[in-house]
Structure 1
């Protein structure tokens, strides 16, 4: 920016000689050394100083100002403390008597505006002071107070008007013109009366107030322009203020930033020449260097395309710019007290969110603009392979409905593979109604089906599978694991077992799929949410040989399982734990997204949440068990790409959900302080990333579902709602992972005959938190009288943070609503069609006429 130069010095500055860490509002005074140093600091920039009080050491200011050739306007602070008022007046009169450089006494500062004194009371004090001195006496008030109280004008020797357009919401480009116009209005109202603009200024930092936007360059331009205009018109003025005042947090976000010099006594802008942001070069350099540094790993990615690299490097540059901006904010703003706590906590929470955002951008760029996957297994030929190694299929079952399990066994019996056995392991299920029908069914299916009833097994599902390994046929080379509710495709083994002809392959994983998504809208949304993981995340992780093994539709080389130590019971996600242990020993994993098995979805939303809690809690157990193996010197055979995928995968899933939920709860807890105590909301550099990361999440979700998942837009919306609905559940699981060492395995209810029983509302905590966040956002928006951008951004961030909680509450409500049933929608559609124009007439036509038409 450019602005007129200040040829000499400013006419006067408000002067508060307190150290950076001092707080005069808490009774802390100043010292002669501090005053002398501060006088020396401002002397090159002003011809005079104005004080607001004459106690606490400020009575020394006129004498020390005279040593540097500065004039002084002495202030006497007036409030309801009469004892202090007397001391203030006595000290001010004494300073005026002893120092010839005192040009005026200001009795009270905005005492009428603050309702500390009535006009009559203040006039009486002014007259008393005037009777005891020959120095001109006045009081400091905003210009509108002077306009409203001509009796006050008559009582003073001159008008000391405060004109601060920031508090009136005036845009920066209109400030100087408005201030001059107000001065002219005062002159017209009180012709012949001396008028001094006793306060004029503009903050260099803080929030906007309507159209008034603070800023370093805006302050410099406004001050220099005003000073030049005032000098040309012969207007006496005083700038507020000499130094930034870090203790003035009570004046909102701008109270600390009115100084011409900062709190370290360094000038914030030059008095002549072009205006450039003080840290612009350094901030730009940091942004550029960080952007380059964060982009370097992009070019280590194999089979990189230009567009893919450009998108990822652009995201890296944005992160570099954000970090540079945050650094600049920390260095140029007075982050103290509660604001410091908020700032540090926000950064701690935002950094992992930004890392996750980069990972999502990478995945988005790779899928949208990168090359097609190379390692994904495709459908094999219809011919039976020449070698058919024996497969032992293990089906653990705990209190599963017998009819459901029979369907699974029947599908296994139809497998198009000549060499397999099937072990059905009923564990910890004493009720004969669950296991006797299965035992009989296994006898009917023949010798290949082995029934094991284990009434007392330790170690949950893993314990049962360990016993199954002991009963497995000695010549079985491959172990297949499916859940008790899965109906498998006849070609499952024929298509996938040949992959093990590569002796380095230890795992072949097929996706989960479900056959009951048409039960309700809720179940369809669940099914679409599962599909995203198997068609997007697993496909990409497979490119780096870093898939997540899950305990159904999984084939494992027996030798790899033995080497990895068999099934372990020290996590409740024994399948993922075993798969990771196998990969850590150098065995390869392979993945296909072709569906070979169809299970049952959780019966209800509570079961859906319970299942997700188990997965996330087990994930935390796996993190604690394996995190050292993710280090470069972890002692495993993991490649750097595998370590990266596993590590970022944990952070992306467990970290994003838990940090997002924690940030939402902390934001909600902060709202009462904002609404009730007027404490500042977080700066935009802390709220914009939340909104931006949510935008990336939405773009990532929609784009990748569109590109990779065979679904419709409505199903995609349902998947998004279902995915958001378990954020709080995952966050609770992460919290439980730190709090509890071992939680019991919780079976997911599927195919239960109790599925329609009455249940309590399954999302009460989420409804309370989500409702609180949304109502807080509305309250902040409606009470934002001065259109402060930061408040609107904070409200928007609260609304965004409410969405996962409200999604859970919505599904909880939908589950018990008739709108959850497809039959309801079909009936509504039929009624809507019946109301179409002409439909009733057509339906009433005779059959013969309708037939002819």
Structure 2
């Protein structure tokens, strides 16, 4: 905890700069608070004005105002508290308001002796709200009224307030004023804070020499603490940044300069004015020495503190993280100390980032549009944190756990007379007969005495595909039975339920193999003995694996992208009996399968759904990480996209159906750890779905920033920076785990990462389809064909191409309009580039899949074959970069 406070203190500490002492010449003062605005007719109360003046009295006894009709209580209160006032009259294109301001201002002048000057209008010429002649008319009128009503020695001088260059450009205006009120704000001209002070003095001197007979009052001089980067108006490489450090450097420098003691000036300004963002842009809200809540942003001496709220933020972050850190320290006793410190550090970092997001409405003045964007960013942060912590937990368990408590290995074979009877079910649909026959032949070679094989071909209309399989089964003897179902409901689950009804009464165990798998002879002999350990063992699962992928870089990408789950995620889940069952190389206790009602035909991922139902009843599932069979990889990118869409769709079907039990709202035997795995196992895919939402939102926001920059402000660095860091950190976990747990080349790790990221859009579509559709369609995963045609290449990635082009175009236009000087622009462009990565990866996957060496052997020989069905787990955690 002490270390956490020190880190907060370190990040809040700024540079040491020379301090100043003594009274300030004056403040430009506008009294509106955070939730008040003249546009919304929400005005400060007299009590709030009195509080402001009490605060300012510690620094000065002079203020400069901008109007009289909005908050007239300023003037009697200022007189009561001993302030002299340079009174502003707001004149503009609104003639009715201008008349009212002049009338009420002259009335106040009669009642209050502390009004030392009059300022008619503020930057009205700069805003082009009136001509020089019109302004001169107002000035002459006010001066004339004052001459009529006041004796010569009591007449307050009159002027208008404009930047230095407006006075130089309109010298005729000087004849209508008693003094010059000038605004010297080098920030607006893109002058760096290092050079700004001398620049301001030089402009002042230029005015003094041009108009030597007129007194000069500096009506505004200061620097904003937040805002956009301002490019130099002269077109040079110089630019001005709006930061706390720059503001302190300029204001302290001005006050400490010996020349300032001889000047009449007002620091711009006393208090931040959030409402100004609508008329002045982002920086307009942050010119105050105090924030809108009347908290001092920076002192005039001592060390600069960049975040005055760092202590309360640190306390809140520690409090939020305390309980989970305590549980990690004492509940993960099987981890070594380094692993526990690793996860505790992630929790504390996540809490700190969350606190930063929660405090943003205090640290920044956000418009309604900004608040909408902030909600999205905080939601993105929460999801990123959830995914990061779940991956961090998996990462820590794999790398720092002393040993697995539930690590199952192949057993020694049982004598034939003790071997339980096994019924192996193989469902196929429109499969190449030679591929299915290869699978059947591998089953015929099983080194096991008591088994049968039931092959069910459902809904295949082409006899050339299923007849050869039927004929081949007939040659293998009575233990191989073939069934052809011309029209059968329920997809693969329907075929497996049919096979269950045909199963030999002696069968105690059901085995399921996909139609493209070549199985090792010792599969049953080495795994069936696990069922004899306990009647509660319902599932014994071996990993999926691939063959014939080495010749093709794309198929190596597919293979190694799968491998992450079986080498990492399955061990992680197996440790708490929360296994993801997948539909091949799986063995199921028949009694348990029949107890839960067989395979669910409503779900297109019936394998995972079955495993969850068994675990909900308290059954045990086991994972034996030994390859006993190998199948074929998807043939191209379109094929694996089809497969992953099905998994994501099925995962959402499962989640919707089982959510009450997962949340403990309905009775089940799920424990906390199992609920955790089956809920967080889908976090990564929800992250992909949210990525699509945020990509679309980012495009919309970028368009808003381009066309309506004052309504759509840029995101703040304090939240965008951690989000970017979390994304990068999370992305790095996958390759590190791969390198530590699997013996493969970095090129294969890179390929797996690209494929995993490139599938994000497809997963997102599958998630949304599964959430909002009731029924899914079982789509086959092609293993040996490729689409043909001139535009076939673009078909599978047309959506990704469109999103990629839109994001890149938006980033390019934003850079062209705003430049890359501003940190906030850089961060937003960085976010856009991160949003584009999955779509770029998808295009890259399609390119790689189309390279000549990636064509399947059948295609290279111009022997097209039909697609194959492949079932694999859903709810995968531990795969690359999901």
Return the alpha-carbon distance in structure 1 between the equivalents of residues 188 and 375 of structure 2. Answer: 29
Q: 1:385 Cα shift? A: 7.7
Q: 1:635 Cα shift? A: 3.3
For residues 827-851 of structure 1, what are the alpha-carbon distances to aligned partners after superposition, in whole Å with 9 as ceiling and x for unaligned? Answer: xxxxxxxxxxxxxxxxxxxxxxxxx
> Cα distance 1:385–1:41, how it changes in 2: closer, same or farther (>3 A)?
farther
Q: Hey, what does 2:8 align to over in structure 1?
A: none
For residues 455-507 of structure 1, what are the alpha-carbon distances to aligned partners after superposition, in whole Å with 9 as ceiling and x for unaligned? Answer: 33222221221121111111112111011111112222222222223124221
Return the alpha-carbon distance in structure 2 between the equivalents of residues 694 and 232 of structure 1. Answer: 49
Unaligned residue ranges in structure 1 (runs of 5+): 827-853
Give 1:629-778 correspondences, 5 Å limit: 629-631=661-663, 635-651=667-683, 653-678=684-709, 679-751=712-784, 756=788, 759=792, 761-778=795-812
> Cα distance 1:431–1:669, how it changes in 2: closer, same or farther (>3 A)?
same
Q: Hey, what does 2:817 align to over in structure 1?
A: 783
Unaligned residue ranges in structure 2 (runs of 5+): 1-15, 147-154, 232-238, 861-882
The answer to whether structure 1 residue 400 and structure 2 residue 431 are counterparts is yes
Return the alpha-carbon distance in structure 2 between the equivalents of residues 225 and 751 of structure 1. Answer: 74
* Contact kept in structure 1, 2:603 and 2:776, CA below 8 Å: no
Return the alpha-carbon distance in structure 1 between the equivalents of residues 819 and 203 of structure 2. Answer: 24
Corresponding residue to 1:239 among 267, 272, 278: 267
Q: 1:152 Cα shift? A: 4.2
Query: 3-state DSSP class of the match of 1:161?
Result: strand
For residues 565-600 of structure 1, what are the alpha-carbon distances to aligned partners after superposition, in whole Å with 9 as ceiling and x for unaligned? Answer: 321223211100111122222322222333222222
Q: Provide TM-score, normalisation by structure 2.
A: 0.86
Return the alpha-carbon distance in structure 1 between the equivalents of residues 464 and 258 of structure 2. Answer: 96
> Cα distance 1:275–1:664, how it changes in 2: closer, same or farther (>3 A)?
same
Q: 1:670 Cα shift? A: 0.9
> Cα distance 1:112–1:636, how it changes in 2: closer, same or farther (>3 A)?
same
Return the alpha-carbon distance in structure 1 between the equivalents of residues 854 and 809 of structure 2. Answer: 26
Return the alpha-carbon distance in structure 2 between the equivalents of residues 357 and 339 of structure 1. Answer: 26
- Higher mean C-alpha deviation, range 796-805 or range 458-467: 458-467
* Contact kept in structure 2, 1:499 and 1:505, CA below 8 Å: yes
Q: Hey, what does 1:592 align to over in structure 2?
A: 624
Q: Which has the higher relative contact order, 1 or 2, with Cα contacts under 8 A spaced 6 or more apart?
A: 2
> Cα distance 1:575–1:171, how it changes in 2: closer, same or farther (>3 A)?
same
Return the alpha-carbon distance in structure 1 between the equivalents of residues 18 and 433 of structure 2. Answer: 85
Return the alpha-carbon distance in structure 2 between the equivalents of residues 785 and 194 of structure 1. Answer: 40
Q: 1:49 Cα shift? A: 2.3
* Contact kept in structure 1, 2:537 and 2:619, CA below 8 Å: yes
For residues 232-286 of structure 1, what are the alpha-carbon distances to aligned partners after superposition, in whole Å with 9 as ceiling and x for unaligned? Answer: 6222111222332221222333322223444344555566776654322211222
Q: 1:427 Cα shift? A: 1.6
Corresponding residue to 1:115 among 128, 134, 137: 128
Q: Hey, what does 2:220 align to over in structure 1?
A: 199
Q: 1:422 Cα shift? A: 0.3
Task: Quote the RMSD (CA, aligned, Å).
Answer: 3.2
Corresponding residue to 1:13 among 7, 15, 27: 27
> Cα distance 1:34–1:764, how it changes in 2: closer, same or farther (>3 A)?
same
Q: Hey, what does 1:572 align to over in structure 2?
A: 604
Q: Provide TM-score, normalisation by structure 1.
A: 0.88
* Contact kept in structure 1, 2:353 and 2:719, CA below 8 Å: no
Q: 1:444 Cα shift? A: 0.9
Return the alpha-carbon distance in structure 2 between the equivalents of residues 375 and 252 of structure 1. Answer: 60
Query: 3-state DSSP class of the match of 2:93?
Result: coil
Corresponding residue to 1:604 among 613, 617, 636: 636
For residues 749-791 of structure 1, what are the alpha-carbon distances to aligned partners after superposition, in whole Å with 9 as ceiling and x for unaligned? Answer: 3335x75577461111111112212222333334333711111
Q: 1:397 Cα shift? A: 1.2
Give 1:6-155 correspondences, 5 Å limit: 6-8=21-23, 10-18=24-32, 20-25=34-39, 39=53, 42-54=56-68, 56-58=69-71, 61-119=74-132, 122-123=135-136, 125-133=138-146, 134-153=155-174, 155=176
* Contact kept in structure 1, 2:33 and 2:274, CA below 8 Å: no
Return the alpha-carbon distance in structure 2 between the equivalents of residues 27 and 197 of structure 1. Answer: 30
Q: 1:81 Cα shift? A: 3.7
Q: Hey, what does 2:511 align to over in structure 1?
A: 480
Q: Hey, what does 2:392 align to over in structure 1?
A: 361
Return the alpha-carbon distance in structure 1 between the equivalents of residues 126 and 79 of structure 2. Answer: 32
Q: 1:5 Cα shift? A: 5.1
Q: Hey, what does 1:533 align to over in structure 2?
A: 565
Return the alpha-carbon distance in structure 2 between the equivalents of residues 174 and 637 of structure 1. Answer: 71
* Contact kept in structure 1, 2:423 and 2:454, CA below 8 Å: yes
Query: 3-state DSSP class of the match of 2:504?
Result: coil
Return the alpha-carbon distance in structure 2 between the equivalents of residues 732 and 803 of structure 1. Answer: 17
For residues 609-656 of structure 1, what are the alpha-carbon distances to aligned partners after superposition, in whole Å with 9 as ceiling and x for unaligned? Answer: 2211111111111112222333467533333322222221122x3222
Return the alpha-carbon distance in structure 1 between the equivalents of residues 674 and 644 of structure 2. Answer: 24
Give 1:85-484 correspondences, 5 Å limit: 85-119=98-132, 122-123=135-136, 125-133=138-146, 134-153=155-174, 155-170=176-191, 176=197, 178-180=199-201, 182-187=203-208, 190-191=211-212, 193-207=214-228, 209=230, 212-214=240-242, 219=247, 223=251, 226-229=254-257, 233-250=261-278, 251-265=280-294, 267-268=296-297, 276=305, 277-299=307-329, 300-371=331-402, 373=404, 375-378=406-409, 387-484=418-515
- Higher mean C-alpha deviation, range 131-140 or range 759-768: 131-140
For residues 202-234 of structure 1, what are the alpha-carbon distances to aligned partners after superposition, in whole Å with 9 as ceiling and x for unaligned? Answer: 334445557655456765675455445479622
> Cα distance 1:314–1:213, how it changes in 2: closer, same or farther (>3 A)?
farther
* Contact kept in structure 1, 2:356 and 2:719, CA below 8 Å: no
> Cα distance 1:465–1:262, how it changes in 2: closer, same or farther (>3 A)?
same
